[in-house]
């Protein structure tokens, strides 16, 4: 702000920086939707490792293809994931621990049946300050403090301690009231009911001899409708389930929906709904599509009845989707590491995340660097010729390439078929565009309600130009000069007086994308030798 000059001298005024820095968004946060053994339902939970997934959602589970996809995602280089657990009428276990109090599992599933509750009491002389404070709250002077331990019985001789809550109370006006403590601090249990609060606490139970009133169940097999989800409004509360629960997630870049029912495939209806969700909610993400189990040979994806251009699959020709073939065989840790067939979506997402972190989003997630970890074989082995036929249809192939191992050998979107001649043919170009769009969308929010004139346009050119210049220096564009690599235009030509009158400022951003070298041609010429004299 201007400084009032009172006497002769030197005055310093700090001026604001006209350039507002635009930060690039994350490029490989992967969302997974499907069943899990335990954990919160119909809400996106951010995790950073498979250890997080095991702690919150129970780890690998035979009934969940999603759990294996998440495991393979982190195994292949994934860093951040969003999990949406969906269930079909699963229920939680309920325990009667005495003193008219019932404890229930925090989330549904059969897993909770193996929980055990232990009540302990400490001598009053061991905790005099807390006891006196509790008695001061209640004139009756009843000491209602107790300890609650939550543990899991693994087998007849092995018990695992999970959570311990000390000096909690069944007094409603206590700061350590059991209901509030469990809601705020426990990942596993909640109070279901206290019919007579403020009375004596439950009796000690060192042997955890509580009655299991209701056993937890896993529910029935999921349906496509439950994966798609819905928005339910009840008064002032809005509940979003399945795919719609992603509204509560800030950002994700890749979406995996592994098979969830007995058909062992994800329906095209679910995939189409996901792509429509991207468009309607401005979600700049890529859907990774898994091959159906009917594709048992290299010719099946080209079959008119069940292949990629069949009536069923034809609707998935979308610029924001990519399909990978074939399915993979990997050791199953839950079955003595015997090989088992899996869909590749989790693995592909992990490889994409790894290459993004090592090379950048402008590097195609394919080739000799796109090696796959933790798998033993493929359900279909492809020759170079068959690979070429599928590649021309926009199908990304997974190949066994000695001595590299198993690699991803394709980087096209579902619009990548040669006969479509689409500008979004290549996955790397589409993902680069989505990255720039999302970064600029978030980085130019400050423009709203600013005076719409040349000073604003100049600031926009500086901010957006600085972001694009940074990408150019990292090698994200074609061209040897900034002029050849990108353009940023915001002036009286892009924003007319009519636009100004309607409150619109137009920014044109263009870039020359790097496209993958799918075909490397070596021209070799034999030179005639000559005698040396």
**Contact indicator for 327, 291 with CB cutoff of 8 Å:** yes
Tell whether the model's pLDDT for residue 516 goes beyond 70: yes
pLDDT for residue 521: 81
Tell whether the model's pLDDT for residue 533 goes beyond 60: no
Q: Indicate the pLDDT class of residue 142, thresholds 50, 70 and 90.
A: low
| pLDDT category of residue 126 using cuts at 50, 70 and 90 | low
Look at residue 356 in the predicted model and tell me its pLDDT: 96
Q: Report in angstroms the alpha-carbon separations of 458 from 22, 445, 455, 465.
A: 15, 16, 5, 10
The C-alpha atoms of residue 177 and residue 194 are separated, in whole angstroms, by: 11
Q: What is the pLDDT of residue 360?
A: 95
At 173 the pLDDT is 81
Location of structure tokens 């409004």: 233
The answer, yes or no, to whether residue 417 has pLDDT greater than 70, is yes
State the pTM of this model.
0.91
Q: Output the CA torsion sign for 19, 20, 22, 23.
A: positive
- Out of 3-12, 222-231, 260-269, 452-461, pick the least confident: 3-12
* Of the listed ranges 73-82, 303-312, 521-530, the one predicted with least confidence: 521-530
Instruction: Please give the C-alpha separations between residue 422 and each of 128, 287, 319, 428, 430, in angstroms, as whole numbers.
Output: 76, 18, 9, 14, 11
pLDDT attached to residue 523: 83
Per-residue pLDDT band for 499 (boundaries 50, 70, 90) equals very high
Residues of the chain with CATH 3.40.50.11780: 30-86+222-428
Which tokens go with 155? Answer: 């087998």
Residue 189: closest CA among 90, 61, 92: 92
Task: Output the six-digit token pair for 18.
Answer: 């006209």
Place 4 in a pLDDT band, splitting at 50, 70 and 90.
Answer: confident
**CB-based contacts of 476, cutoff 8 Å, min separation 6:** 360, 361, 362, 432, 511, 514
Coil, strand or helix at 339: strand
Dist CA 377 CA 399 (whole Å): 9
Residue 139 pLDDT greater than 70, yes or no: no
Confidence check: pLDDT of 531 > 80: no
pLDDT value of residue 176? 87
Grade residue 449 by pLDDT with cuts at 50, 70 and 90: very high
Q: What is the pLDDT of residue 137?
A: 63
Among 342, 329, 345, 324, residue whose Cα is nearest residue 378: 329
Residue % of the chain over a pLDDT of 70:
93
pLDDT score of 441 more than 80: yes
Residue 405 pLDDT level (bands cut at 50, 70, 90): very high
pLDDT-based confidence at residue 237 (cuts at 50, 70, 90): confident
Tell me the average pLDDT across 76-83: 97
Distance CA 473, CA 223 (A): 48
The per-type count for the chain, helices as H runs and strands as E runs, is 13, 22
CB atoms within 10 A of CB 339: 14
Lowest mean pLDDT among 2-6, 92-96, 152-156, 395-399: 2-6
**Mean predicted confidence (pLDDT) in 224-243:** 91
Average pLDDT, the chain: 90
The per-residue pLDDT for 169 is 86
Sort strands 321-325 and 286-289 into parallel, antiparallel or unpaired. Answer: parallel
The answer to whether the beta carbons of residues 257 and 271 sit under 8 Å apart is: yes
Residue among 326, 239, 246 nearest 287 (CA): 246
Per CATH, domain 30-86+222-428 is 2.60.290.11: no
Q: What pLDDT is attached to residue 209?
A: 59
pLDDT digits (tens, 9 = 90+) for 23-56: 999 999 999 999 999 999 999 999 999 999 999 9
Q: Name residue 164's beta-bridge partners.
A: 149
CA-nearest of 22, 15, 16 to 466 is 22
Indicate if the pLDDT at residue 411 is higher than 60.
yes
Segment 180-218, tens digit of pLDDT: 999 999 989 999 988 777 777 788 876 655 667 888 899
Q: Which of 164-173, 335-344, 394-403 is predicted least confidently?
A: 164-173
Q: State how far the Cα of 208 lies from the Cα of 151, in Å rounded to an integer.
A: 10
**Greater confidence, 134 or 163?**
163
The alpha carbons of the chain give a radius of gyration, in whole angstroms, of: 30
Q: Is the pLDDT of residue 124 over 60?
A: no
């Amino acid at each position: 702000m201007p400084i009032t000059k009172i006497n002769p001298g030197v005055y310093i005024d700090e001026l604001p920086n006209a350039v507002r820095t635009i930060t690039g968004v994350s490029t490989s946060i992967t969302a997974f939707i499907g069943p899990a053994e335990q954990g919160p339902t119909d809400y996106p939970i951010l995790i950073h490792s498979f250890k997080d997934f095991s702690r919150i959602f129970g780890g690998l589970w035979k009934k969940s293809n999603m759990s294996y996809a998440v495991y393979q995602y982190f195994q292949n280089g994934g860093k951040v994931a969003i999990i949406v657990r969906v269930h079909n009428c699963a229920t939680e276990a309920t325990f009667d621990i005495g003193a008219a109090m019932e404890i229930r599992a925090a989330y549904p599933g059969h897993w909770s049946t193996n929980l055990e509750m232990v009540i302990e009491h400490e001598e009053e002389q061991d905790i005099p300050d807390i006891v006196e404070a509790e008695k001061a709250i209640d004139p009756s002077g009843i000491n209602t403090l107790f300890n609650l331990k939550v543990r899991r019985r693994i087998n007849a001789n092995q018990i695992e301690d999970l959570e311990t809550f000390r000096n909690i109370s069944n007094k409603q006006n206590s700061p350590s009231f059991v209901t509030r403590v469990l809601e705020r601090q426990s990942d596993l249990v909640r109070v279901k009911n206290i019919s007579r609060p403020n009375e004596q606490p439950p009796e000690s139970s060192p042997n955890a001899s509580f009655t299991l009133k209701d056993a937890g169940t896993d529910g029935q097999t999921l349906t496509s409708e439950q994966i798609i989800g819905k928005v339910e409004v009840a008064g002032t509360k809005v509940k979003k389930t399945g795919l719609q629960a992603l509204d509560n997630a800030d950002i994700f870049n890749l979406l995996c929906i592994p098979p969830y029912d007995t058909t062992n495939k994800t329906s095209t209806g679910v995939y189409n709904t996901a792509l429509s969700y991207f468009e309607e909610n401005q979600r700049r993400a890529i859907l990774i599509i898994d091959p159906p189990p009917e594709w048992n040979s290299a010719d099946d994806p080209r079959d008119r009845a069940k292949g990629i251009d069949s009536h069923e699959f034809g609707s998935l020709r979308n610029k924001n989707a990519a399909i990978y073939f074939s399915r993979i065989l990997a050791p199953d840790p839950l079955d003595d590491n015997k090989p088992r067939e899996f869909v590749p979506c989790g693995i592909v997402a992990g490889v994409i995340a790894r290459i993004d972190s090592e090379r950048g989003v402008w590097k195609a997630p394919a080739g000799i660097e796109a090696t796959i970890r933790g798998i033993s074989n493929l359900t279909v082995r492809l020759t170079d010729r068959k690979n070429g036929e599928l590649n021309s249809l926009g199908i990304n192939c997974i190949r066994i390439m000695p001595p590299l191992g198993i690699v991803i050998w394709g980087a096209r979107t579902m619009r990548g078929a040669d006969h479509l001649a689409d500008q979004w043919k290549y996955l790397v170009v589409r993902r680069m565009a989505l990255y720039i769009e999302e970064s600029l969308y978030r980085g130019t929010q400050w423009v709203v309600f600013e005076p719409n004139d040349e000073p604003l346009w100049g600031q926009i050119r500086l901010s957006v130009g600085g972001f694009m210049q940074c990408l150019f220096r990292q090698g994200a564009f074609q061209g040897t000069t900034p002029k050849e690599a990108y353009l940023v235009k915001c002036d009286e030509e892009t924003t007319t007086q009519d636009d100004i009158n309607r409150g619109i400022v137009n920014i044109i951003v263009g870039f020359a994308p790097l496209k993958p070298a799918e075909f490397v041609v070596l021209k070799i010429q034999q030179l005639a030798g000559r005698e040396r004299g």
